[in-house]
Amino acid sequence: MQNPDENPPAVKMASADTNAGPIDEPGAPELVPQIVQDAAAVSPAHSSKHGLISRVTSAAMPTMIAIIAWFVPGLGHLLLRRWERALAFFVAVGGLAVMGYLMRGNVFAPHSEDPFGTLGFLADASSGVFYLVAHVLEKSGPDVARAMGDDGTRFIAGAGIINIMGVCDAFAVARGHKH
């Protein structure tokens, strides 16, 4: 004969439910403490304060990864142990941004009355730390009167847009929606 203590909680609940009948009968109230007790036995971490903190931390982790991936292109993937993607995004975003600055492309300021200027700022700022070092690499300022300066503006905006792709991918990987 099988020892009832060795049964998993789900089996115990099912057998209790079978004997108890409808939920409003006298046997039903005894099920509630049994279910809570069994759930605590299966995953004690979820019933404790530390378990709650752990769940909150795991829920916030994809957001943290996304912020890190935005600030330093490729670092989000590096923390997720996706080495190839980390290297690819760092090289692509960094290469585009640095090339754009060296071609004297236009770096859009945060406050712009032109809507396209605002969109340009959002695209440029999406390259994270590379946006912050723009004034270091582009000391002479933009020169969009020349064709190469105009191309540089596209390089800088392209870097930010590619980094947004990387941020979205790192977020999806951190949430477990993608390999």
Residue 89 found at the interface with other proteins (CB under 8 A): yes
Residue 43 φ then ψ, to 5°: -135, 80
Beta carbons within 8 Å of 97's beta carbon, 6+ residues apart = 127, 130, 131, 134, 155, 156, 159, 160
Q: For the CB of residue 156, give the shortest distance to other proteins in the complex, in Å.
A: 11
Residue 147 found at the interface with other proteins (CB under 8 A): yes
Beta carbons within 8 Å of 147's beta carbon, 6+ residues apart = none
Q: Which 98-137 positions form the footprint of other proteins (CB under 8 A)? A: 99, 102-104
Rounded distance between C-alpha atoms, residue 166 and residue 124, angstroms:
15
Which lies closer to other proteins via its Cβ, residue 39 or residue 172?
Answer: 172
Residue 179 found at the interface with other proteins (CB under 8 A): yes
Rounded distance between C-alpha atoms, residue 139 and residue 133, angstroms:
10
Binding window for other proteins (CB under 8 A); candidates: 8-16, 21-29, 97-105, 108-116: 97-105
Rounded distance between C-alpha atoms, residue 82 and residue 15, angstroms:
47
Q: For the CB of residue 117, give the shortest distance to other proteins in the complex, in Å.
A: 22
Which DSSP category does 12 fall into? H
Number of residues that bind other proteins (CB under 8 A): 29
Which of 78, 92, 107, 167 binds other proteins (CB under 8 A)? It is 92
Beta carbons within 8 Å of 109's beta carbon, 6+ residues apart = 117, 121
Q: For the CB of residue 71, give the shortest distance to other proteins in the complex, in Å.
A: 17
The angle at the Cα of 84, spanning 83 to 86, to the nearest 5 degrees, equals: 65
Which of 50, 55, 135, 146 binds other proteins (CB under 8 A)? It is 146
Binding interface with other proteins (CB under 8 A): 84-85, 88-89, 91-93, 95-96, 99, 102-104, 140, 143, 146-149, 151-152, 154-155, 158, 162, 165-166, 169, 179
